[in-house]
Structure 1
Amino acid sequence: MVLDPRLNHPALVERARHVRLLALDVDGVMTDGQLYFQADGQETKAFSTQDGQGIKLLRQAGVEVALITGRDSPMVTRRAAALGIEHVFQGSDAKLDLLRRLIQRLGLEMHQVAYCGDDLPDLAPIKRAGLGISVPNAPRYIREHAVWVTERAGGHGAVREICDGLLELQGHWASVLDTYLHGQA
């Protein structure tokens, strides 16, 4: 069974099989990229609950998840904690350096990383990760460097699409469905 026929591309299939870490930008990938400010100056963000479920399923399948974002936000800290994401890096555009340090600490290699981003600070990680991913709301010059551009936009299910695709391509999807079909979740 194939969820998405676009997942049949040989380069995508081969690269996805090796992924042991999914690293995500936040603004524009996990959110719609808009910044919302209340009258008191408090910043708010909207996250997709479907993305959160996908992250939980991917983690249960043994794939680590990391957030690497240039902005520093307490909402990112809270969302990561709610999803059990331990690897959270905020407030730096040196994303490739952060990613390299993380994979060294985890004992992984770059070909075992999927990275999804949507803007210039994400370009180097997209190019160097084993599976570079972007979203349709990213500028063309970012998307053209990705192996996979999601169908869904950032903040609107793009992360869930990635998680479901990785689960399928790594052979976990039937087990996920079986668990939920038989009420064992």
Structure 2
Amino acid sequence: MKKIGFIPLRKGSKGIPNKNKRKMVGRSLFTWVLGEAIFSDLDEVVVYTDDESIIEFIKKEYHWTNKVKSLLRSKESASDTASTEFAMLEFCESINYDFDVFCLLQVTSPFTKKDDINTCLNKLDIGYDSVLTVVNTHRFLWNKEGEPLNYDPFNRPRRQDFEGLLIENGAVYAAKKEIIQKHKNRIGDKVAVVEMPEESLHEIDSEADWLVVENLLMERQKRQKKSEKITHVVLDVDGVFTDGTITYTKDGEHTKSFDMRDGMGLEILRQYNVEAMVMTSENSELVAKRMDKLKIENVFLGVKDKFTLLNHIISQKDITLSNIAYVGDDVNDLTNICSVGWSLTPNNATDIVKQHADIVLSKNSGAGAIREACQFIMNYNKRF
């Protein structure tokens, strides 16, 4: 049974400019859903967009998986007046409905997890022809005429005695092929509902919404942390190994400065069976040479979606995020900082990272911060 995920993206956004590409906790908004879809039970994930820069981004960023495809949608399907169903059907017809299950994923719902997607897919195996995600809200609803819709105000129930009301949160929709063909719609005749946390009801239509969702996401990631033995340390480069400055000549990048004490710290850490890995958004030959000198085998250059790659790495190594210590300094490290077992940041890191890291080191980047982080990891692992 072929299960295909479908993520429609439009270049334009009136409420929040460039919303889909804007950094949410240091990652492009659309990558939150895309990353979860990659690790779900979907067989293929299609990003359908009129933004060629996103198509190019996906080709470069997710080269390690053959599960993701990006396709250019028509101008008609990407207009302000075109419905999501219009884009869905345009795509389905272009591939002659070559799937058994169609799963629509909305990027404006970054709270979606792979388990939510899988639960929806599983519902289609037990007699339902379509499924959608909902939130159980315990709010009391009224209409414009001042009439209560879901409770008796003269017999106000306690929250724990109130069943609440299920509200569509617009995150995940799944349907069998014949339903899409018959109804030309994301929903069919026998619909199942899958509950998601109440926080997923938040929509991102304004700057205020953005701030609320971003903070909720950071707190969610931090709540999932667990104390386990550190087996791997992942390090950013600029602003961690170096002080963040680069000298240039007319021929391009010239020099970066590294602290020898950091190299010694990583060498000692290796003796305690803690593997070091490097993950940086820059694609630098100087960095590659320095990491080769330090005998660091896993060096990932030019990475923009660091969190999805980190999840790929831990799945390959059969470990969890709780086994990871991460050292980063800027906003593109923020999701990893909020998610791993232990996050550390140099004393001269950006304020937003220092606010959310577990440990703010006393040393600056390029001046012994990594050496200090290595000592913390060795001391912490003694309890195991």
Report the TM range for the smaller structure's normalisation. Answer: 0.7 to 0.9
Report whether the alignment pairs 1:36 with 2:256.
no
How far residue 168 of structure 1 moved from its aligned partner, in angstroms, is: 2.2
SS at match of 2:356: coil
Q: What is the CA–CA distance in structure 2 between the aligned matches of 1:146 and 1:55, rounded to whole Å? A: 20
SS at match of 2:279: strand
Report whether the alignment pairs 1:74 with 2:285.
yes
Aligned residue pairs total 158
Please list every run of 5 or more consecutive structure 1 residues that lacks an aligned counterpart in the other structure. Answer: 1-13, 173-185
Letter in 2 for 1:109: T
The runs of at least 4 aligned residues of structure 1 exceeding 4 Å deviation read none
Determine if contact 1:38/1:44 at 8 Å carries over to the other structure: no
How far residue 39 of structure 1 moved from its aligned partner, in angstroms, is: 4.2
Aligned counterpart in structure 2 of residue 88 of structure 1, from 253, 277, 299: 299
Determine if contact 1:89/1:98 at 8 Å carries over to the other structure: no
Indicate the residue corresponding to 1:165 in structure 2.
Answer: 376
TM-score, length-scaled by structure 1: 0.81
Please list every run of 5 or more consecutive structure 2 residues that lacks an aligned counterpart in the other structure. Answer: 1-225
Determine if contact 2:338/2:357 at 8 Å carries over to the other structure: yes
Report the structure, 1 or 2, having the larger strand content.
2
Q: What is the CA–CA distance in structure 2 between the aligned matches of 1:44 and 1:96, rounded to whole Å? A: 28
SS at match of 1:42: strand
Indicate the residue corresponding to 2:358 in structure 1.
Answer: 147
TM-score, length-scaled by structure 2: 0.40
Q: What is the CA–CA distance in structure 1 between the aligned matches of 2:254 and 2:307, rounded to whole Å? A: 26
Aligned counterpart in structure 1 of residue 343 of structure 2, from 132, 137, 140: 132
Q: What is the CA–CA distance in structure 2 between the aligned matches of 1:50 and 1:134, rounded to whole Å? A: 17
Task: Give the % identical residues.
Answer: 35
How far residue 101 of structure 1 moved from its aligned partner, in angstroms, is: 1.1
Indicate the residue corresponding to 2:263 in structure 1.
Answer: 52
Greater RCO (Cα-Cα under 8 Å, separation 6 or more) = 1
How far residue 42 of structure 1 moved from its aligned partner, in angstroms, is: 3.5
Instruction: State the Cα RMSD in Å.
Output: 1.6
SS at match of 1:144: helix
Aligned counterpart in structure 2 of residue 102 of structure 1, from 292, 296, 313: 313
Q: Say which one has the larger Rg.
A: 2
**Aligned 1:15-26 pairs, distance under 5 A:** 15=227, 18-26=229-237
Report the structure, 1 or 2, having the larger helix content.
1
Letter in 2 for 1:66: M
